[in-house]
Amino acid sequence: MRLVDGAVEMIDQTRLPAEEATLRCETPQEVVEAIRRLAIRGAPAIGIAGAMGVALAAARAAAAAGDEAAFRARVAADAAALRAARPTAVNLAWAVDAQTALLDGHPGPPAAAAAALADAARRIHDDEVERCRRIGEHARALLTRGARIMTHCNAGALATGGYGTALGVVRAAHAADPSVRVVVPETRPLLQGSRLTAWELGREGIAHTLITDSMAAATMAAGAVSHLVVGADRIAANGDVANKIGTYGLALLAREHGIPVIVAAPTTTVDPATPTGAGIPIEERAADEVRGIALHGRPAAPADARVANPAFDVTPARLVSAIVTELGVHRPPYERSLHAAAPRGAMGR
The Cα 185–Cα 17 span in angstroms is 16
d(CA 137, CA 131): 10
Q: What is the largest CA-CA distance in the chain?
A: 67
Q: Which 163-192 positions form the footprint of ligand MRU (CB under 6 A)? A: 165, 192
Q: How many CB atoms lie within 10 A of CB 81?
A: 15
Separation of alpha carbons 181 and 220, rounded Å: 14
Q: Among 110-118, 204-212, 225-233, 330-338, which window interacts with ligand MRU (CB under 6 A)?
A: 225-233
Find the shortest distance in angstroms from Cβ 91 to ligand MRU.
8
Among 233, 240, 271, 326, binds ligand MRU (CB under 6 A): 233
Q: Considering 12, 78, 97, 233, which one is annotated as catalytic?
A: 233
Q: Which of residues 306-335 bind ligand MRU (CB under 6 A)?
A: 311
Instruction: Among 25, 41, 75, 143, indicate the residue that binds ligand MRU (CB under 6 A).
Output: 41
Q: Please name which of 123, 122, 127, 29 lies closest in space to residue 84, comparing C-alpha atoms.
A: 29
How many of the other CB atoms lie within 10 Å of CB of 13?
Answer: 25
Residue from 39, 139, 142, 160 touching ligand MRU (CB under 6 A): that is 160
Q: For Cα atoms 93, 201, 315, give the angle at the middle one, nearest 5 degrees.
A: 45
Residue 184: CB minimum distance to ligand MRU, A: 13
Minimum Å gap between C-beta 344 and ligand MRU is 25
Cα(28)–Cα(151) distance, rounded to whole angstroms?
A: 33
One of 102, 155, 253, 324 touching ligand MRU (CB under 6 A): 155
CA-CA distances (angstroms) from residue 115 to 78, 110, 111? 17, 9, 6
Residue 231 vs 348, nearer CB to ligand MRU? 231
The residue from 136, 231, 277, 348 that contacts ligand MRU (CB under 6 A) is 231
CA proximity to 324, closest of 179, 137, 182: 137
Q: Supply the minimum distance, in Å, between the C-beta of residue 243 and ligand MRU.
A: 5
Q: Is 233 a catalytic residue?
A: yes
Contact between 244 and ligand MRU by CB under 6 A: the answer reads yes
Site membership for ligand MRU, residue 90 (CB under 6 A): no
> Which residues of the chain form contacts with ligand MRU (CB under 6 A)?
38, 41-44, 89, 153, 155, 159-160, 165, 192, 231-233, 243-244, 311
